[in-house]
């Protein structure tokens, strides 16, 4: 088995690549695919290096290819093909393309300490849902009405980001059912995002191209809290709780 | 060497060391006192070419690295010395002395870098220093006194090593305890300053118009204790890795088998210390992150989901690489243990766990994708892989990687033993059942975390490391009786390690250092445009987040400079040891 260390290593590498390339749909983006294959390569090398006899067996065909006189023709082939492949890879990496560039978009931009809400300051870091705007049946019903009147067209009737207009938008509307969106955030964060929309994105939220409207221009503070309560209730998530820094 | 020339030589060595530290402190006092008279009044001053921020960044990180080393090494030097006393082993005593040998020169470099940092801060960021002075003024004098005491005891500890042997050994151990007590004192004082900059407390007002309402709250701020725990563990881990690198350097430079065997052993102990402290480190880091998030969702979101999120992918790759390297070192080390070949069959499954764990840990939540890829996914989150981007998956992966590494280490320990005890078979069964139970438990908590509110999920996450810790304790408790009186399959052939194993030790040291620099940048960077978060704004030219490329480049340069200094320390330590050997 050890004699076959090199071909087996190559086989494992190809098998992992094929499983990831064809076994996961939609296709894994290049960034993650590169990461996974790098990890696979390193893991295989670690396995080879972990045992000296295995290392020798792995290297034996490569050493033979470079040294043995009867392998002169394949050696020449390798010495021509490998630089050509590297050259092609380099060319392919740097050649001009017409695809839109990557967008290193920050999905959860850091919130500001406070923002202007209907002419007054709202403290995002230490603020909380005001008394009288609690999560109750009446507010949830109002939130549901507001959601289907205003938000559903983009965020979808199932709150999964697949609304009627979703396909026309870039970036795509947030999927509230994804455990990586509102489930990770405090309620004041979501309140801030709804209130200030795309134009309220902070400096760090490149490329600032969210099409989310500034909802405080259309809704009252109470209505925004009602919508926030509804999207949490409808998805079954609860907002992240902030710790208390009181006394510190 | 001074210690070989009796008490006069030892006292002269201590005097010389103290004189060096005193001169540095006196020069520092003089320079800091003169600076306000030299410069015109200003909030900020610019350092030429590289700018003030990069200069302070390099000095602070370089100082912190050396400080981490000189605070971490005495902990395990003392432990090795105590083990030498308890086991009546000269070998452990020699090892402890070798560890300490590296400290003498490092203290001078640490003090010099600390002094340069303070001068740079006073000269370039006077307004910030004025603010810190208002809050922490009483701690400055105390800090200098503790540094002085630390240096005094450290030099005494080193120079009296050979003199305080035999019946006087207790006094030497006492000196070692004092070195550690004072080192911890330095750590907690500086952590109070750093913690205050992130999670300030005990003050009212902003900028320079502040009133200190409670100096205690300013000192014992929100991030203080998590920082203490995290840095304490990290220092031991880092110190172990650097000591391992020194041993590797000596192994490769060794001219005879005895020397090679000795440094092979030292490298093993160094890496063992690094790994032992490394295992709880991710949890200490998680605790620190959790506290930061609890203090401010703004800093929490910047760190985990905002500007700094992609750097965590880099962190995952580095830590995953450390896990791979540690396992590789242990497997190579098993090659010099008669009977170690019995456990080769576990290499592949352990590697599968490590590689899969690393893949999960490094999967970004928000993927950098082309427009076409984004369209295909339907969002910036991949519908299948998106779940791997959350903490539930990552915590699960880390815990499984820790268990896999622990198993490798236990197999290494069993390498040349064949159990003969009647308890061996049932003991193995209990260990096997516990292993399956803990793996199922960890995976179950990981999956369950997706179906509960964030508060419950965060609360649940602590049960995973508790299960891992419980499993390790149970495993070790069984291992003792199960392998009591075990038949030896032969002695460990110390020194017969492939050379590549020593480069793995270098890799560990460099990766730990780089990781320290990267995480230090993230921790500091999440304050963004604040010197003191929400209390004192940074209005200097450098008040912006640099690109990740620039930041990682600065970290890399710091690491290179650090290792240039460390190489110097290694060379001096080697010269000192050879001189001592020739003299004896």
Task: Please give, rounded to a whole number of angstroms, the shortest distance from the CA of B348 to a CA of chain A.
Answer: 7
Cross-chain residue pair A30–B199, CB shorter than 8 Å: no
Helix (H, G, I), strand (E, B) or coil at A39: helix
Cβ atoms of residues B203 and B213 within 8 Å: yes
Predicted confidence band of residue A1 (pLDDT cuts 50, 70, 90): low
Tell me the chain B residues in contact with residue A50 when contact means C-beta distances shorter than 8 Å. Answer: 327-328, 331-332, 344, 347
Nearest to A43 among B305, B354, B371 (CB): B354
Query: How far apart are the C-alpha atoms of B569 and B574, rounded to whole Å?
Result: 8
Question: How far apart (Å, rounded) are the C-alpha atoms in residues B340 and B347?
Answer: 12
Task: Identify the bridge partners of residue B211 per DSSP, sorted by sequence position.
Answer: B204
Write out the two tokens for B167: 């019946």
Write the secondary structure of B123-178 as one string of H (helix), E (strand) and C (coil): HHCHHHHHHHHHHHHHHHHHHHHHHHHHHHHHHHHHHCCCCCCHHHHHHHHHHHHH
The reported pTM is 0.89
**Interior CA angle at B401 toward B395 and B403, to 5°?**
105
DSSP track, B367-418: ----HHHHHHHTSSS-TTTGGGGSHHHHHHHHHHHHHHHHHHHHHHHHTTEE
Q: Which residues of A touch B320 (CB under 8 A)?
A: 39
* Beta-carbon separation of A245 and B306 below 8 A: no
Is the CATH number 1.10.760.10 carried by domain A114-235? Answer: yes
Eight-class DSSP state of A199: G
> Across the 584 residues of chain B, what is the mean pLDDT of every consecutive 10-residue run?
67 87 88 84 92 96 94 91 92 91 85 92 94 93 91 92 91 95 95 96 94 96 95 93 95 94 94 90 87 88 83 92 96 95 95 96 85 76 83 92 95 94 94 97 91 76 90 96 93 95 97 96 92 95 90 97 94 88 80
Smallest CA–CA distance from A243 into chain B, residue: B294
pLDDT on residue A242? 65
Q: Where are the alpha helices (DSSP H) in B199-223?
A: 215-219
d(CA B231, CA B185): 13
DSSP class per residue in A109-171 = PPPPSEEEETTEEEETTT--PPTT--S-HHHHHHHHHHIIIIIHHHH-TTSSS--TTGGG-SS
Are A245 and B302 in contact (CB < 8 Å)? no
Q: How do the domains of chain B map onto residue ranges?
A: 2-311+504-583, 337-491
Q: Are A113 and A123 in contact (CB under 8 A)?
A: yes
Over residues A232-242, the mean pLDDT reads: 87
B32 in contact with chain A, both atoms CB, cutoff 8 A: no
> Would you say B348 and A5 are in contact if contact means Cβ atoms under 8 Å apart?
no
**A21 interaction partners in chain B (CB closer than 8 Å):** none
Where exactly are the structural domains of chain A?
A: 2-94, 114-235
The answer to whether the peptide bond before residue A171 is cis (omega within 30 degrees of 0) is: yes
Q: How far is B506 from chain A (nearest CA, A)?
A: 16
> Residues of B numbered 173-192 whose beta carbons fall under 8 angstroms of chain A's beta carbons: which are they?
none
Point out which residues pair with A240 in neighbouring strands.
A186
Q: Is B372 on the interface with A (CB under 8 A)?
A: yes
C-alpha–C-alpha distance, residues A88 and A74, integer Å: 21
From chain B, the residues in CB contact with A46 under 8 A are: 324, 327-328, 351
Whether residues A109 and B386 touch (CB distance < 8 A) is answered with no
ipTM associated with this complex: 0.89
**First CA to last CA distance, chain B:** 10
pLDDT in tens, A144-187: 999 999 999 999 999 999 899 988 887 788 889 887 789 888 89
pLDDT at A248: 33
Distance from CA of B294 to the nearest CA of A (A): 4
Answer whether B387 touches A (CB < 8 Å).
yes
Cα nearest neighbour of B347 on chain A: A47
Closest alpha carbon within chain B to A237: B453
By C-alpha distance, the chain B residue nearest A245 is B295
- Rounded distance, CA B227 to CA B289, Å? 10
Q: Is B373 on the interface with A (CB under 8 A)?
A: yes
The one-character DSSP state at A240 is B
Instruction: Give chain A's mean pLDDT.
Output: 89
SS3 at position B205 = strand
The DSSP 8-state label assigned to residue B536 in this structure reads E
């Amino acid at each position: 088995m050890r004699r076959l260390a090199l071909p087996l290593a190559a086989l494992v590498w190809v098998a992992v690549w094929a499983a990831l390339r064809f076994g996961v749909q939609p296709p894994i983006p290049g960034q993650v695919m590169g990461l996974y294959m790098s990890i696979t390569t390193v893991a295989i090398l670690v396995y080879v290096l972990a045992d000296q006899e295995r290392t020798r067996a792995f290297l034996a065909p490569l050493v033979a290819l470079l040294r043995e006189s009867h392998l002169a023709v394949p050696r020449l082939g390798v010495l021509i093909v490998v630089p050509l492949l590297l050259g092609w890879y380099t060319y392919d990496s740097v050649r001009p393309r017409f695809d839109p560039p990557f967008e290193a978009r920050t999905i959860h931009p850091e919130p500001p300490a406070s923002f202007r809400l209907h002419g007054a300051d709202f403290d995002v870091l230490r603020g909380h849902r005001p008394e009288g705007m609690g999560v109750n049946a009446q507010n949830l019903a109002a939130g549901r009405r507001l959601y289907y009147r205003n938000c559903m067209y983009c965020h979808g009737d199932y709150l999964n980001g697949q609304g009627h207009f979703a396909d026309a938008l870039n970036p795509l509307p947030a999927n509230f059912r994804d455990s990586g969106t509102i489930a990770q955030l405090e309620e004041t964060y979501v309140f801030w995002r709804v209130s200030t929309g795309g134009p309220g994105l902070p400096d760090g939220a490149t490329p600032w191209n969210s099409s989310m409207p500034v909802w405080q221009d259309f809704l009252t503070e109470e209505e925004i809290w009602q919508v926030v309560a509804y999207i949490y209730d409808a998805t079954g998530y609860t907002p992240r709780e902030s710790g208390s820094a009181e006394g510190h | 060497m001074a210690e070989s020339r009796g008490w006069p030589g030892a006292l002269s060595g201590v005097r010389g060391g103290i004189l060096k530290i005193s001169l540095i402190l006196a020069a520092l006092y003089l320079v800091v006192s003169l600076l306000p008279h030299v410069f015109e009044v200003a909030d900020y001053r610019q350092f030429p070419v590289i700018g003030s921020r990069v200069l302070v960044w390099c000095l602070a990180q370089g100082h912190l690295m050396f400080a981490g080393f000189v605070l971490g090494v005495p902990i395990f030097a003392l432990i090795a010395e105590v083990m030498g006393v308890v086991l009546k082993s000269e070998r452990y005593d020699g090892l402890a002395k070798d560890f300490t040998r590296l400290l003498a020169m490092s203290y001078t470099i640490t003090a010099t870098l600390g002094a340069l940092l303070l001068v740079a801060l006073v000269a370039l960021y006077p307004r910030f220093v004025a603010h810190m002075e208002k809050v922490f003024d009483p701690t400055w004098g105390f800090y200098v006194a503790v540094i002085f005491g630390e240096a005094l005891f450290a030099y005494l500890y080193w120079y009296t090593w050979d003199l305080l042997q035999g019946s006087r050994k207790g006094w030497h151990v006492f000196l070692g305890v004092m070195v550690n007590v004072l080192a911890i004192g330095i750590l907690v004082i500086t952590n109070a300053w750093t913690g205050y900059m992130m999670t300030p407390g005990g003050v009212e007002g902003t900028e320079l118009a502040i009133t200190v309402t409670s100096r205690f709250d300013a000192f014992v701020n929100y991030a203080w204790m998590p920082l203490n725990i995290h840095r304490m563990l990290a220092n031991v881990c880092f110190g172990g890795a650097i000591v391992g690198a020194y041993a590797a350097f000596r192994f490769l430079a060794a001219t005879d088998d005895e020397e090679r065997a000795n440094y092979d052993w030292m490298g093993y102990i160094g890496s063992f210390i690094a790994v032992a402290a490394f295992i709880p480190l991710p949890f200490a880091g998680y605790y620190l992150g959790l506290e930061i998030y609890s203090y401010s969702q703004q800093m929490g979101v910047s760190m985990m989901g905002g500007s700094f999120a992609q750097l965590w992918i880099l962190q995952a790759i580095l830590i995953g690489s450390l896990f791979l390297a540690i396992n590789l070192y242990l497997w190579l080390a098993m090659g010099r243990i008669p009977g170690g070949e019995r456990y080769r069959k576990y290499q592949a499954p352990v590697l599968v766990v490590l590689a899969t764990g690393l893949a999960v840990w490094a999967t970004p939540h928000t993927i950098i994708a082309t427009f076409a890829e984004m369209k295909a996914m339907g969002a910036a989150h991949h519908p299948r892989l998106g779940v791997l981007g959350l903490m539930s998956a990552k915590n699960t992966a880390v815990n499984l990687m820790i268990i896999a590494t622990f198993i490798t280490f236990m197999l290494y320990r069993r390498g040349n033993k064949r159990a003969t005890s009647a308890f061996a078979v049932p003991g193995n069964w209990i260990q096997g059942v516990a292993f399956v139970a803990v793996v199922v438990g960890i995976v179950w908590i990981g999956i369950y975390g997706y179906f509960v509110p964030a508060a419950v999920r965060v609360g649940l996450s602590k049960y995973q490391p508790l299960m891992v810790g419980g499993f390790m304790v149970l495993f070790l408790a069984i291992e003792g009786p199960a392998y009591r009186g075990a038949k030896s399959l032969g002695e460990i052939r110390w020194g017969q390690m492939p050379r590549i194993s020593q480069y793995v030790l270098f890799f560990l040291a460099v990766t730990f250092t780089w990781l320290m620099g990267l995480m230090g940048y993230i921790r500091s960077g999440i304050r963004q445009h604040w010197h003191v978060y929400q209390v004192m704004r940074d209005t200097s030219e450098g008040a912006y987040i640099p690109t990740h490329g620039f930041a990682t480049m600065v970290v890399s340069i710091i690491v290179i400079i650090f290792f240039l200094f460390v190489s110097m320390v290694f060379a001096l330590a080697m010269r000192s040891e050879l001189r001592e050997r020739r003299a004896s």
